[in-house]
Amino acid sequence: MKVLVIGGGGREHTLVWKIAQSPKVEKVLVSPGNAGTALIADNLSYRPSEIEALGKVARDRDVDLVVVGPEGPLASGIVDYFDGLGIPAFGPSREAAQIESSKAFSRNLMEKYGIPCPRGSIFSSHSEAHEYLKRQQPPIVIKADGLAGGKGTIIADSVMEASRALSDIMEKKVLGSAGDKVIIDEYVTGREVSLIAFTDGKTVSPMLPACDYKKTWDGDLGPNTGGMGSYSPPGFFPAELAEKATNTVLLPAIRAMAKEGFPCKGVLYAGLMVVDGELLTLEFNARFGDPETQVVLPLLKTDLVDILLAVVQGNLDELDVEWSRDVCVGVVMASGGYPGSYQTGFPIDGLDKVDRDSLVFQAGTRLGDDGRVYTDGGRVLTVVSTGKDIAGARARVYANLSRIDFEGCHYRKDIALREIG
């Protein structure tokens, strides 16, 4: 089989790495990929938004299966496009991808089908949103409706801050049409977990749960990022809670989407808050998480390609998906200045010093003409180690990370620390 993975981040490097292990796969293509994927796959030069060019190359290269990483092309209907070409693609249709691409859509679905979520209201008028806002107690959660690259959720500590955010989103349109509507949610506190499931639109097969670290600095301080690290599985989210989340969140969502006429095939990602043993759904995504994928897929024992095919063919219920009992910790190394402005083009040293039983999933990297790997993005790479317990995996991941260096690099030192603290 030939498999084409679309995307170029750490998530896609992990997918390529896992897919390449399948005895069914003779070749993996990735577009655009990065310096890490270039070692195990053929990197192509198309961006994920170049859907027609990707379709053409998939046809020319006789690709048997396409796996889409990022949300943008899914929201644009890339899976429908490949379906039209007769090339199986793993991921949701454009309609089903709205569970992620429109927060108003997913809130309406959750309310209609009784899926637990924080109280909130949807607004398409700035003045009505503003009037409502003035009656709320801070902190206040404001969410832009559309895709905003991780910048769409603001937690405001005062009505004035919330009002400014609302004006930026709805009047100044700082997020473009993603801010045509907003959702104003009650603020809830608890422990956050990502429960991501494979689904063929009828059956869900949850992966191991994972926690990600969105803030830049230790202690959950600083601005939001795309994710600075992750670990799996969290001790505070035992199998019973995962089962409860499957029965009260994932399965109801899948059944609701099928009933509404847009079954969700691919991945359903529930961002959950655990509050006193109860679950609230903060968000749904329709794709693999990043950096959660980097710590979850190394624990998958079943051939990933068998799962991807079962999803595409609609017989996921016939497959027994097996997971390791080990744990996994991943730490992201980022460019100096990230998530603000940063420079790229610095050589990365020490990649060859990483132990054979640890992994480096690259993201913002490129291969130089001199054969060296250079930084090429904000999140540069994730170092990943597994172990029998979090303390061991953590110790290994940081020992390996300390051997890698590039100018200005920064990383969090407290990933998974709360599990052993």
Quick check: 31 and 54 in contact, CB under 8 A? yes
Least Å from the CB of residue 290 to ligand GLY:
5
- Helices 126-134 & 159-170, crossing angle to 10 degrees? 170
Nearer to ligand GLY, 200 or 283 (CB): 283
**Residue found by looking up tokens 């990707």 in the block:** 54
User: Does residue 370 sit in helix, strand or coil?
Assistant: coil
Cα–Cα distance between 26 and 409 in angstroms, integer? Answer: 36
Nearer to ligand GLY, 55 or 152 (CB): 152
Cα–Cα distance between 108 and 183 in angstroms, integer? Answer: 11
DSSP designation for 128:
H
Nearer to ligand GLY, 227 or 263 (CB): 227
The residues, any chain, with a CB within 8 Å of residue 26's CB and separated by 6 or more, are 1, 2
Cα–Cα distance between 64 and 50 in angstroms, integer? Answer: 19
Nearer to ligand GLY, 227 or 339 (CB): 227
Instruction: Give the residue from 17, 89, 15 showing the smallest Cα distance to 55.
Output: 89
Least Å from the CB of residue 185 to ligand GLY:
17
Nearer to ligand GLY, 290 or 419 (CB): 290
Cα–Cα distance between 342 and 72 in angstroms, integer? Answer: 23
Cα–Cα distance between 341 and 179 in angstroms, integer? Answer: 23
First and final C-alpha spacing in the chain: 46
Nearer to ligand GLY, 82 or 213 (CB): 213
Least Å from the CB of residue 267 to ligand GLY:
11
Least Å from the CB of residue 150 to ligand GLY:
7
Least Å from the CB of residue 64 to ligand GLY:
27
Nearer to ligand GLY, 72 or 289 (CB): 289
Least Å from the CB of residue 27 to ligand GLY:
27
Omega within 30 of 0 (cis) for the link into 116: no
What is the number of the residue whose Cβ is closest to ligand GLY?
289
Residues that bind ligand GLY (CB under 6 A): 212, 227, 285, 289-290, 292
DSSP designation for 235:
T
The residues, any chain, with a CB within 8 Å of residue 245's CB and separated by 6 or more, are 195, 206, 270, 272, 279
Least Å from the CB of residue 288 to ligand GLY:
8
Least Å from the CB of residue 100 to ligand GLY:
9
Question: Which ranges of 174-297 would DSSP assign to H, the alpha helix?
Answer: 239-245, 251-259, 292-296
Nearer to ligand GLY, 38 or 333 (CB): 333
